[in-house]
Structure 1
Amino acid sequence: MSPETLRTLMAHASPPRSGDFLAGVACDSAAARVRAQRVLADTGLAEILATPLVAPEEDEVTRLILESHDAAAFASIAHHSVGSFREWLLSDAATPETLAALKWALTPEMVAAVSKIMRNQDLIAVARKRPVVTAFRTTIGLPGRLSVRIQPNHPTDDARGVAASIVDGLQFGCGDAVIGINPATDSPDAMIRLLDLIEDLRLSLGCPVQSCVLAHVTTALKVMERGAPVDLVFQSVAGSEAANASFGIDLAVLREAHAAAAELGRGTVGQNAMYFETGQGAALSANAHHGLDQQTMETRAYAVARAFDPLLVNTVVGFIGPEYLYDGKEIIRAGLEDHFCGKLLGLPMGVDVCYTNHAEADQDDMDTLLTLLGVAGVNFVMGVPGSDDIMLNYQSTSFHDAAYVRSALGLRAAPEFEAWARDFGIFDAAGQLRQADRSLELLSQMQLLEAS
């Protein structure tokens, strides 16, 4: 099979989404989609491996995928077609241990292919069997646990506003994934001010959390040189060299940042120190998708993340807009696909359950996706004050939403954070959020706002 034929087959087999129609790669009917899915199901995993969809001589992401492939581990599944691989994944033979052993045997294209012939419940069932555990100051991804990123963004990076959001989130038992701020200004000075704010709050409370200011990776390198308290290094990544170039990065600068963060050694229970974000449509928006459907390109981004042992990988599923995922149905499907594909490739996947205000979606759709992801074993979700990010101007999940899904599904916070929050009266002995008087001591920390 030629790369062109496989690209077309993968695109035509994808569940419908607006981005593929925008790119001109989607099929024209449901009947054509089913025909493509049947052909894809009969396609061998070995044939997909032998057919790079983006030429390696022009793309360093493809070279990374091929060079990191574990041929010995792949031998155990090389006989499978996409369809028989799906059946094996759903069988009892696919245990957490056997799935983990395939981390480097699987390529993004194989994983994307099998996801295209799966129902939503298949994506949930398999992802649930593949926990991925990482650690820095908290241990994230343990079965029965759900972590939350506090996202205390402010349109002007106002210290009082940011700190108030952090304290609010902590009172709801959030923050065990990361306290992660999208800065209004991407500059070394702004990044250092925000890092110092979180560091002062963390040390004052004795709270086992990690911080991240989501500035560009080159900004993080500059502030590390200046001795700033950098815990996690952030970068958005995509599935092709050209798309990453549009972000101002390549694999070399990610390797430099990974090494610099490792040298700091600021973790206590682990040293996973990278945080990546992705999103379906990113490569298309940069005109760097090489004719691939957006879900396959998204899965290729996970190969980039996988190379750097991240603490967190977050697909910001509905953020790019309805041009790529039009409505709630498309967003729900994409969130489950991304989580499944990332987990199968061995990544600590979180999902920003979100939408923009001009999408045909609402908070009921997000409640559905959040619940499904909780069942699927997602590592973390977002905690945004009131679910409305007033800086990035989109709708996400709130601290209350995190409390709901933990309570409904019996999920708990990261163990180190849970122990701290229990001492503060935020959680009860069973690790569930207390309904009143959660933490008078924590509320007293609001005096930090006055000093900031």
Structure 2
Amino acid sequence: MPMPYSHTLGGQVWHFADLATLMARATPLRSGDVLAGVAARTMTERMAARMALAELPLKAFLSEALVPYESDEVTRLIVDSHDAAAFAEIAHLTVGDFRDWLLQDSTDETTLARVRAGITPEMAAAVSKLMRNQDLIRVARKCRVITRFRNTLGLPGRMAMRLQPNHPTDDARGIALSMLDGLMYGAGDAVIGINPAGDGLDALGALMRLTDEVIQRFEIPTQSCVLTHVTNQIRAIEQGAPVDLVFQSIAGTEAANRSFGIDLAVLREAREAALSLGRGTLGDNVMYFETGQGSALSAGAHHGLDQQTCEVRAYAVARAFEPMICNTVVGFIGPEYLFDGKQIVRAGLEDHFCGKLLGLPIGCDVCYTNHAEADSDDMDNLMLLLGAAGVTFLIGVPGADDVMLNYQSTSFHDALVLREVLGLKRAPEFEAWLERMGLTDADGRLLPAPSRHALLEHFA
């Protein structure tokens, strides 16, 4: 039976029936948890839950599964892949002690890498609930996760951008012009990734060939991806399409992943198919995952957990497949789950911290929908905070307005501001290519676009 958790605060004893309840009540306020009926009812209850959580031994997460082992393959993945030897270094700590340990100067990049496999998603989620925003930034900045396909992501002092050239009708010329726009602004080192409007294999194959032709013709050290369902990408590979990264949205419970039409077996099949192509020149990180707080709740598959804990469980799925990139689409699901700018900013920092702590090359789509209580100033704040935290990559769309998915993200211009303010460079191979192409100087600053350029002539 689950053990009861309690704490005395303000002359009242607060009881929490099980670990899932304790985690949910300790979570910073967000609309999705209120919608699910799991949020703390008062600030006092939230503080009592945090104090009880701070006293909880990390070992407790190894003895009480938040989603039953017998009925959930994500839980089985978490339990079966846990590294007891890596955990031994922190096994004596409570959640509160773990926070203090993470913040110590002596807990450096090497130390964090050493214990990474011993940290479960639930441990990461728990400690994040006790941390201030600055704590999340400081610790995430110490985590180093490096991946390679045709370039190298995650190196210190660098931040990549996904070039997202979407079009509402998958018009090839419209997509090509957005690609040109992004490349001329120095974006695209994370991936050139298209969200297609349709899902027919012929149309998908055409988009794959469009991006591959540009990459191959101009020898761009980057990778491409058409973000359709993973089974479409497997079929495309079988038909000889030029697939670089295989994409899939994932969640933190088996039932939520089933709502996406996937399980761990199909992800393994997809990874093996992509690896069989041997298209990477520097490495074999071939997967691209996207996540987002609220996905399990929207599928009715959250098992009574708070949405942030469900989100971090998705990172266990992601890290099992050694992705090139993974990002939280933080404000995309809508205000039912993250109501306003304050909640979106907090969620983005939590997701980034937990992803980095667990060893993911985590990025963020700093975004919001038009019916959320958020605006571009909120996104500027989150973008700068994530840049300071060492985010692996952000998203670039023309004018920050995705005309196909109908939401607000970040632009190619935003990346330029972030690089200037924080001194961030691109992936080294991509940076060298931009200089060779005469698009940037030796310091990575954009040069005035010439009237005639090979890229301009190709897309004309």
Q: Judge same fold: TM > 0.5, yes or no.
A: yes
The AA in structure 1 aligned to 2:440 is: F
Counterpart for residue 153 of structure 1: 166
Aligned counterpart, 1:292: 305
Given residue 433 of structure 1, which amino acid in structure 2 is its aligned partner?
L
Query: Residue 2 in 1 paired to residue 2 in 2?
Result: yes
Name the SS of the counterpart of 1:104 in structure 2.
helix
Residue 234 (structure 1) aligns with: 247
Retained in 2: the 8 A contact 1:49–1:110?
no
Query: In the aligned structure 2, how far is the partner of 1:216 from the partner of 1:28?
Result: 39
Pairwise CA distance, 1:103 = 2.0
Once the two structures are superposed, the pairs formed by residues 276-291 of structure 1 within 5 Å of their partners are: 276-291=289-304
2:237 corresponds to 1:224: yes
Q: Which residue of 2 aligns with 1:27?
A: 40
Query: Retained in 2: the 8 A contact 1:280–1:298?
Result: yes
In the alignment, the residues of structure 1 paired with residue 377 and residue 83 of structure 2 have an alpha-carbon distance, to the nearest angstrom, of 42
Cα deviation for residue 147 of structure 1 reads: 0.2
Letter of the aligned partner of 1:194 in structure 2? L
Bigger drift between 88-97 and 240-249 goes to 88-97
Cα pair 1:350 1:378 within 8 Å, conserved? yes
Q: 2: CA distance between counterparts of 1:449 and 1:430?
A: 27
Alignment deviations for residues 191-231 of structure 1 (CA, whole Å, 9 cap, x no partner): 11001001111122221110000010000000000111000
Partners in 1 of 2:401 and 2:78 — Cα distance? 37
Q: C-alpha root-mean-square deviation of aligned residues, in Å?
A: 1.1
- State the AA in 2 paired with 1:308: F
Q: How does 1:129-148 map to 2 (within 5 A)?
A: 129-148=142-161
Aligned residue for 2:410? 397
SS at match of 1:64: helix
- Render the CA deviation track for 1:37-61: whole Å, top value 9, x for unaligned: 0000000100112111000100000
- Confirm or deny: 8 A CA contact 1:412 1:432 kept in the other structure: no
Which ranges of structure 2 fall in alignment gaps of 5 or more residues? 4-16
Q: Does 1:50 align with 2:60?
A: no
Question: Which of these residues, 73, 86, 94, is aligned with residue 86 of structure 2?
Answer: 73
Q: Distance in 1 between matches of 2:252 and 2:340?
A: 24
For 1:18-70, what per-residue CA distance to the aligned partner results, in whole angstroms no more than 9, with x for missing partners?
00000000011111111100000000100112111000100000000000000
Cα distance in 2 for residues equivalent to 1:68 and 1:427 = 44
Q: Per-residue deviation at 1:445?
A: 2.7
Q: Is the 8 A contact 2:89 2:115 kept in 1?
A: no
Structure 1: segments with no counterpart, 5+ residues? none
| Aligned equivalents of 1:408, 1:256: Cα separation in 2 | 42
Q: 1:17 aligns with which of 30, 35, 44?
A: 30
Partner of 2:107: 94
Shift of 1:441: 5.3
Distance in 2 (CA, whole Å) between partners of 1:127 and 1:433 is 29
SS where residue 275 of structure 1 aligns? strand
TM-score for the superposition, normalised by structure 1: 0.97
1:329 maps to 2:337: no
211-220 or 425-434, larger mean C-alpha shift: 425-434
Matching of residue 273 in structure 1 with residue 286 in structure 2: yes
Structure 2 residue 309 is the aligned partner of structure 1 residue 311: no
Q: Does 1:412 align with 2:425?
A: yes
SS at structure 2 position matched to 1:212: strand
| Inter-partner Cα distance in structure 1 for 2:103 and 2:269 | 39
Out of 92-101 and 143-152, give the one that drifted further.
Answer: 92-101
Structure 2: how far apart are the matches of 1:261 and 1:47? 38
- AA aligned to 2:455 is Q
Cα 1:166–1:34 shift into 2, 3 Å: same
> Residue 185 of structure 1: which of 184, 198, 201 is its match?
198
Q: 1:420 Cα shift?
A: 0.4
Q: Is the 8 A contact 2:271 2:287 kept in 1?
A: yes
* Residue 371 (structure 1) aligned with residue 384 (structure 2): yes
Q: Secondary structure at the match of 1:198?
A: helix
* Counterpart residue number, 1:117: 130
Secondary structure of residue in 2 paired with 1:234: strand
Q: Is the 8 A contact 1:159 1:449 kept in 2?
A: no
1:105-149 per-residue CA deviation (whole Å, 9 max, x = no partner) reads: 010000000000000000000000001110111100101000000
Q: Which of 406, 430, 445 does residue 455 from structure 2 map onto?
A: 445
Give the C-alpha shift of residue 273 in structure 1. 0.4
Whole-Å separation in 1 of the counterparts to 2:219 and 2:77:
40
TM-score, scaled relative to structure 2? 0.96
CA distance in 1 between partners of 2:458 and 2:232 (Å): 27
What's the offset of the Cα at 1:265? 1.2
Residues paired across the two proteins, number: 447
1:85 aligns with 2:98: yes
* Residue 162 (structure 1) aligns with: 175
Check the 8 A contact 1:147/1:175 in 2, yes or no. Answer: yes
Counterpart code for 1:200: E
> Can you list the C-alpha shifts for 1:319-368, whole angstroms capped at 9, x where unaligned?
00000000000000000000000000000000000000000000000000
Alignment of 1:340-379 (within 5 A): 340-379=353-392
- Percent identical residues: 64
- Bigger drift between 101-110 and 318-327 goes to 101-110
Correspondence for 1:380: 393
TM-superposed CA distance for 1:440, in Å, is 4.8
Opposite residue 191 of structure 1, the aligned amino acid is L
Q: What is the one-letter code of the residue matched to 1:2?
A: P
